[in-house]
Structure 1
Amino acid sequence: MPGPLAPVVARIIDGAYRAYRANQALENTKTAAELAQLAAEIAERRQQIKNILRATIDAMAREIEVKSSTFAVVDRGGNSTVSRRGQENITFKEYIERKVPFRPAISQVCTVALQMPIKAPRRIRRKIVGDMVQTTIEIALKQFTASLFFEAVDEALEWRSPLKAEPNYNGNSKKALLGDPATRPKRFGSAVQPFWPRPKGLLAPDLVVVEYRQEPFETENVFAAVEIKFPGDWADSKQMKKYVTLMTPETGINPEKIGKEKVALLRVPEDCVGTEADEKKNHTIEQTRKKK
């Protein structure tokens, strides 16, 4: 006999199917050659990041029992002294400076995604000499590339990576949508685009760092929910508040504080380890230390 959650689950599945069909209709407008080219590039990039991060993957495989919080101790946070737009570094200072475990590995993935993003054709209509003509442009999919890379690492670790790319959560119940095994995020997209579309009412942080990687990525097991922003994509207060609400526990002492402390903002390349801004900050810190 179905329980009280059955109608909710049914609506989620129905919404996912309708969104999936809409996405398939969009993909069907591409030629078979374009889709084949995109699929081939995705496969190539997944293998590429596995090769680039081989040492990291091997280390994570050995440290499977180690909590993520252990690795947060050595992280000094992002560069809140750097602003890309307006008062961004002040408005989101606490999220930027949040300690994020595995920042070097995350930085490496994001830097590769920024420098060598997967590109996809997109048809648009333009007015040329008074006539509307259809043309094709190429768009760089930086966030999609980064998510694919994180997923490739997770797959290489048999879905026991501490880094979960765009995991889905029910916005009302805050429950994670688990795949098989339970440490694998459930997807609703296509083989070419697994992360999109997602059913209405779901929230998916760009990256979630779990505390215990052998357990599902339910919010109580999340150490950090990381919003990643590439150039041209700006931090948004409403979006950050949604993630804080998602990560806020229902009970306990000062749940609002706990929820806020689980959310982080990582701007690429400003908050990545090894960037020019990062090197300048290291130099400044070293000069200040020498003067003391």
Structure 2
Amino acid sequence: MPAPAAAALLAGAYRAYRVYQAHEAAMSTADLARLASEIAECKSTIKQVLQQAIEALTREIEIKSSTFALVDRGGNSTVSRRGNENVNFREYIERKVPFRPAISQVCNVALQMPIKVPRRLRKSVAGDSVTTTIEVALKQTTASLLFEAIDEVLEWRSPLKAEPNYNRNSSKALLGEPETRPKRFGKVFPFWPRPWESLAPDLVVVEYRQEAFETDNVFAAIEIKFPGDWVKNKQMMDYVELMTPKTGINRDKIGTEKVVLLRVPEDCTGFEADEKKSAQHQQVRKKS
């Protein structure tokens, strides 16, 4: 690797570490205890809130995940949240995904009931330094915790793997115990910090759920975007590269076709129906 590129990587890694370190330092013992409690509560309510999703993922464990993709309609490429997003990323939005209803249910719960953490801000008021605290909603983290809780309930045989880590260079998965369980490194947040030189798609759908989530067993690598989190082309290309086989024919095609963009709530099951219902409601109001 050229020296300038290596230096840039090291500088980026150092900045990321300092941000994480500062965030940890800013959180008091009480904050961390509260966060740990919220995470535990989030997991404990999984059976009640997401029973339907769990039951859907429990059935037909022996069947390939790709079988369930046949009935999926894909995302809503006619809807754009920002600019030409629906045009530029159309193929990723329209990709058919197994278990979209279950994925949608989890994401909508995370959107409506996200875990919140305090974030302290310092600002100058009349020459004095004043510290204020705001709450930040962690929608993506909440969704990942819910997906992981479902996986745990299913004894790590869920086809949906939340933020599994892969080595960026070798594309090898970082496996836990059993090998169908993603390896974690964080103490409070399971998904952070990440190992050096790793990539972690928001959600991975495996083809055979009894086998490890190595890239050759991945049916779909899903990038989930909640409101306010915009799609970045580089991020999508990183996942395409990750999912591209090292050898064989049609490698680029295979890598591209494994990557999916799912915007919440636009690409979730039921969004179109809600949109029509809202339009009908507005028409009724106009008539009255």
| TM-score, structure 2 normalization | 0.86
Matched, 1:95 2:123: no
Whole-Å separation in 2 of the counterparts to 1:205 and 1:102: 17
Which residue number corresponds to residue 141 of structure 2? Answer: 144
Aligned residue runs from structure 1 range 58-207, under 5 A: 58-190=55-187, 192-207=188-203
Query: SS of the counterpart of 1:227?
Result: strand
- Give the letter aligned to residue 110 of structure 2: A
The answer as to whether partners of 1:266 and 1:272 remain within 8 angstroms in 2 is: yes
Whole-Å separation in 2 of the counterparts to 1:281 and 1:161: 33
Whole-Å separation in 1 of the counterparts to 2:179 and 2:185: 16
Which residue number corresponds to residue 215 of structure 1? Answer: 211
Query: SS of the counterpart of 1:71?
Result: helix
Q: How many residues align?
A: 265
Matched, 1:268 2:249: no
Matched, 1:52 2:49: yes
Match of 1:243 among 236, 239, 242: 239
Whole-Å separation in 1 of the counterparts to 2:131 and 2:122: 4
The answer as to whether partners of 1:229 and 1:267 remain within 8 angstroms in 2 is: yes
Listed one character per residue, the Cα deviations across residues 106-146 of structure 1 (whole Å, up to 9, x for unaligned) are 10111111111000011111122332212211100000000
Listed one character per residue, the Cα deviations across residues 166-214 of structure 1 (whole Å, up to 9, x for unaligned) are 0000000000000000000011111x20101112210000000000000
Q: CA RMSD in A?
A: 2.2
Query: SS of the counterpart of 2:107?
Result: helix
The answer as to whether partners of 1:20 and 1:189 remain within 8 angstroms in 2 is: no
Give unmatched runs, 5+ long, in structure 2.
1-12, 280-288
Query: SS of the counterpart of 1:151?
Result: helix
Shift of the 199–81 alpha-carbon distance from structure 1 to 2, 3 Å rule, reads same
Shift of the 189–23 alpha-carbon distance from structure 1 to 2, 3 Å rule, reads farther
The answer as to whether partners of 1:67 and 1:211 remain within 8 angstroms in 2 is: yes
Whole-Å separation in 1 of the counterparts to 2:230 and 2:17: 27
The answer as to whether partners of 1:210 and 1:217 remain within 8 angstroms in 2 is: yes
Which residue number corresponds to residue 225 of structure 1? Answer: 221
The answer as to whether partners of 2:162 and 2:204 remain within 8 angstroms in 1 is: yes
Poorly superposed stretches of 4+, deviation over 6 Å: 19-22, 281-284
Percent of aligned positions that are identical: 72
The answer as to whether partners of 1:244 and 1:260 remain within 8 angstroms in 2 is: yes
